[in-house]
A and B are shown apart, each in its own frame.
Chain A
Amino acid sequence: MGLDYLATVLLNGVSFGVLLILAALGLSIYWALMDVINLAHAAFIAWGAYISYSLMQICGFWFALIVGMVIMAGIGALLYAGIIKRIVGRMPAHSILFTFGIALVLIELLKVFWGVYPKSIHLPQELASVIPIGDFSYPFYRLFIIGVGLLVVVGLWSFLEKTNVGIAVRAALENKEIVAALGINIPRLYLLIFGIGTGLAGLAGFIAAPIVAVDYEMGWHFLLLSFVLVVTGGVGSLGGICLAGIILGILYAAVALITPQLASAVVFAAMFITIAALPRGILGRGM
């Protein structure tokens, strides 16, 4: 068990954590802003992977990455405007049940369009290489995932902190009535946020695809682990989610080395401990 071994576990953990962070960001914002607990997010993650998979057949990885994310954001916005907005403002139990129904339909549609067999995504040359870490050779792609995550988190942070729309979002988190009274169009704000969240879910699904199997079940696994991040990080806390993602990702990778099946169980156990001890998340900033 050398240092390079430790580095491998850490990098595996952080890259997996980053995938979860990308999936969890949307969930957390919907929950904090609209009080919607969106199980349909599971379907968005899987749809992102499948749509980008199909795009890759036409025109390569990078194009699929960007366009897939934009398409997913569009689908998310459409679904929000068409269906999901009806559930905003209802009881959390209703939003869970409603979005669960939507998720079942969307995931079944995956089977209708793409069949039930898992797909595999082949990386382009520049990402498929390995880099040496001590005695190990480490896949470059996982470092790429960490890079993408960093980019997204910094981008989202500057959007929330520096732009006028972001300031409106943060204000709406505190008090929607006053923000609406100031002339901000709250429904349009929700639409935008839903689009961003769905786009990120699609991105998470796609960049996860080369290291996990692309099948219609993949979304559920990610969704449940992302909820753990949201709860342990504190609902609506960007910093909390990132910290929780990195800690839980490393925990997951470390346990997965010994017993792969129990890795998820340990992560869920961590959630129970947080719910019991720190209901507002590890940074204490959640809602």
Chain B
Amino acid sequence: MMDPLASKKLPLRTIGFWLILLILLAFSPAIVSLPIAVDVLIFGLLALSFNLMFGYVGLLSFGHAAYFGLGAYSAGLILKYLDIPLTVGWVVIPIGALIAALGALCIGAIVVRRTIAYFALGTLAFGQVLYYIILQLRDTTGGSDGLYGIPRPLIGGIFSDPIKLSSLQFFYVIFFVFIIAIVIMRIILNSPFGRSAVAVRENEERARFLGYNCYRIKLTMFTISGFFSGLAGTLYVVFNAYVGVDSVTWYLSGEIVFMSLLGGTGVFWGPLVGAFVYIMLKWWVSAYIYHWPLVVGALFAVIVLWFREGILGTTLYLWRRRFGT
């Protein structure tokens, strides 16, 4: 049987959508400011990778900051302590992501077997374990001060002197990695494997009767999710030359969940929209409202009760009702 989506040619609308998205993101440093644009890409990628688990497999990972932190800290430690030439320093990006994936694989192997609640608490606990270990290894990780003085990778160096990239040029490196990452995510989700993950979410028992190995599907998706979260972490380190211990705490984990819910977990792009709205809100509102968590907490409860589709999901619903497509 042919996959209905794979057999179709790329419709004009899809191409147009990607073009608009690429242009919007590419010019985002000019539209919003550069730090916000970088944050949107990095935390957008993080929220998208979280949603691979929550939206597509239906498992709530409540400690997703752990994989972000694992990627960020391993990339930072390699750049800082291993004497690799900075022109090849870019290799920390895939290495950090792979280490995060490995961490997700180990934890997932234990917690993916159990119920949703155990999965949520188990992932949360792993985040805390990592947090305490980073605090404990103060001499290498900098403890609660964070890891400072991480050198940024350089470009070139074979025929000429290595060139230092400006922050804007770094943005385009991150942009490039981000685009590759989401294209890979789309390919994975549209593959038979991605479809089987949705089958597991919708009805695990039936998927098992059809011969799917649900445990392996969930574990694979969790590892992939950990990989992309770690990727976001390494990008964060490469850009900021710093990683703080707050990037592994439950608070960031909560923020990731919040961005995804805000944008809508039922649509692939929802978390990216959520990350954008959340970061803008945080930027503007927290300047006026001192007790920002009051707003976040209340919104959390409201979204879960009445606004489950999120911003993008609701917009798409209204759009379809209005225009019928």
Contacts and interface: CB of A to CB of B under 8 A. Distances in A.
Interface stretch (B191-199, B233-241, B296-304): B296-304
Contact of A265 (B58, B129, B257): B129
A108 B291 contact: yes
A265 B302 CA distance: 34
B128 A264 contact: yes
Interface stretch (A53-61, A121-129, A223-231): A223-231
Nearest to A37: B117
B125 A261 contact: no
A97 interface: yes
Nearest to A221: B128
A257 interface: no
B118 A276 contact: no
Interface string A33-70: 00001000000000000000000000000000000000
Chain A interface mostly: helix
Interface string B212-238: 000000000000000000000000000
A98 B250 contact: no
Interface string B263-290: 0000000000000000000000000000
B136 A92 contact: no
Q: Which of under 10, 10 to 19, 20 to 34, or 35 or more describes the interface residues of B?
A: 35 or more
User: B58, B296, B302: which has the most chain A beta carbons within 10 Å?
Assistant: B296
Interface in A158-216: none
B95 interface: no
B297 A31 contact: no
9 contacts: A31-B117, A86-B305, A92-B115, A101-B301, A102-B297, A103-B297, A108-B293, A275-B114, A276-B110
Interface of A: 31, 37, 83, 86-87, 91-94, 96-98, 100-109, 111-112, 220, 224, 227-228, 231, 259, 261-262, 264-265, 268-269, 271-272, 275-276, 279
Q: Rank and list the top 10 A-B pairs by shortest CB-CB distance, nearest first.
A: A101-B300, A104-B297, A105-B297, A101-B301, A261-B136, A93-B60, A265-B132, A108-B293, A268-B125, A92-B117
